[in-house]
Chain A
């Protein structure tokens, strides 16, 4: 079997917290706690989870924007953290990023043409004319006009700006695009345009996509595979159809339950109170889990294979999977 496009292995990233008292000890938070996955060329992996689950840290680690504490990110078989800086810069043409905020991620003082061309500066072999042509092509591919290159970001709406950000990510013809909440700052009607665009571009150019979102429906729409993160770990992974039909981790179930439905469930279930008394040395979700047992408080569940490509980190994954799915209750209506 050939090496996957992207291979993330046992990634650990810790951040030190500020002291709570002058001479108190500095706490440490594990933003990533042993994350591993593979992404094949042309495929898309969606990462979902609540804020603080480590999704954005994962995106930054994959982009080699920060060094992993432990573990490795291998792109086409090469460990990114082991590459010399010049080498890494050249390697970056193959993996590009789209950020959440289409306002903050584009320099307001530069024209769109220059913003989009910027990743090309690392590729010295292109002449000025070729660059201009490349920018024109990529703007056209995201549904903008070549003449838009002469305008400034403020002349565009939020959805158009996100198209510019996508064009910038595509201009080097990358093999992987990492998109961190690419549509969550957009209006619903514009979000749909950008999601369709991402899907088209992926199909057209065979780009692999690592899509980070807190919105399960967005991920379901755009990903071949989904990984659910909770407190720095992947707690469940699988194809969206299977994962949403028979979730094997109670946290995935809680997420599915909480998605607002157009047809409200009968007999509104009250949400459990917020608590997070995760036991040390046990499952991080045990404090919130309605089905937690004694074993969950003693023993950390490892991410293990279920059927096919499904993986889940729950001692009782098989039992959880066999329960009726919260997603199956969806009786959504279409006009």
Chain B
């Protein structure tokens, strides 16, 4: 049994124009110790997928489908039960560490909190464990810094604190939503390396959400590409990046500035911009921006087409996209 099985996940959000689907039938699984990447841009539904897994969807959101964690169904689970899982079996790291931390408490106390809450540790024992955790995520001089407040730390140090908090109870699954987007490349590298090591050491599964194909390439085994609420492509990371099949994935790669490409080379662009939630077409969500789109693309959501072993893309124009199944 997989650690996490998501089937036909649907998330509908309240918008000014009524309810709109932000996630449209997403299905994927995550094994123990596996590192899965989720790529997408704003409005793709990647963050809503993460929030749905955590039971943290915004007020008024509707959730359908199935999320099984260690066989237990999370959709429809009582908030008190979800509370018991969150921060214990499922850890989370968000993009902006400053908003994830309480400015009025020392970072040591915040890292100790899940241990007191979920493990019933006494204050001194929790503090000691918190210092050990801060040390483990690579915060220099952890003993002293445990007494610091968030504003006294740099961005990279804060993100380490948030990761220490998420790891406090040795979760089976860590969900990291753009954990290094606010950081510089050298810090990004340190933090992602540390996450990979921790996952290898403890068998923790990682769902890494990023807009950066390079980050996904270096840190995950399998990947999903989301656009307009749908998973448009998925498969083993190396194979997918070797042969990106969906026109959107191809566009994403072409738009990425590459080091060494030099000045004067124009970047390939994807025409238009991502649709508003309420405006995502009912057929292929990418059809309006796709140079290969035909009438059939707009008629119905495309089925998953095989590209290679374990590699599928939801596109009926794979031939035209230069990809042979």
Contact = CB atoms under 8 A, between A and B. Distances in A.
The answer to whether A binds B is yes
A300 to B, nearest CB: 22
Nearest to A264: B218
Nearest to B183: A51
A199 B266 contact: yes
Contacts of B97: none
B253 A189 contact: no
B192 to A, nearest CB: 8
A214 B264 CA distance: 20
Given A214-B185, A273-B140, A259 B263 contact: no
Interface string B236-275: 0000011110000011111111111111111111100110
Contacts, number: 153
Interface in B282-325: 322
B186 A258 contact: yes
B242 A216 contact: no
Interface in B166-202: 183-190, 193, 196-197
A216 B258 CA distance: 9
Interface of B is mostly: loop
A124 interface: no
B215 interface: yes
A193 B255 CA distance: 8
A249 to B, nearest CB: 13
A125 interface: no
Given A50-B187, A258-B185, A334-B253, A196 B266 contact: yes
20 contacts: A50-B184, A157-B274, A189-B270, A192-B255, A192-B267, A215-B185, A215-B257, A216-B259, A220-B259, A221-B265, A223-B263, A258-B185, A258-B189, A259-B214, A260-B188, A270-B193, A271-B189, A271-B190, A334-B254, A335-B250
Contacts of B154: 51-52
A259 B252 contact: no
B62 interface: no
B203 interface: no
Which 6 residue pairs across A and B have the least CB separation, nearest first?
A260-B214, A192-B255, A192-B267, A187-B41, A50-B184, A258-B185
B65 interface: no
Interface residues of B, number: 53
Contacts of B197: 270
B240 to A, nearest CB: 11
Interface in A11-63: 50-52
Interface stretch (A76-84, A87-95, A164-172, A325-333): A325-333
Nearest to B154: A52
A222 interface: yes
A158 B270 CA distance: 15
A155 B235 CA distance: 37
Nearest to B265: A221
A216 to B, nearest CB: 6
A254 B155 CA distance: 19
B217 interface: yes
B156 interface: yes
B211 interface: yes
Contacts of B218: 260-261, 264, 268
Contact of B253 (A52, A215, A330, A335): A335
A138 interface: no
Given A263-B217, A333-B241, A188 B261 contact: no
B42 interface: yes
A220 B190 contact: no
A215 B186 CA distance: 11
A80 B268 CA distance: 39
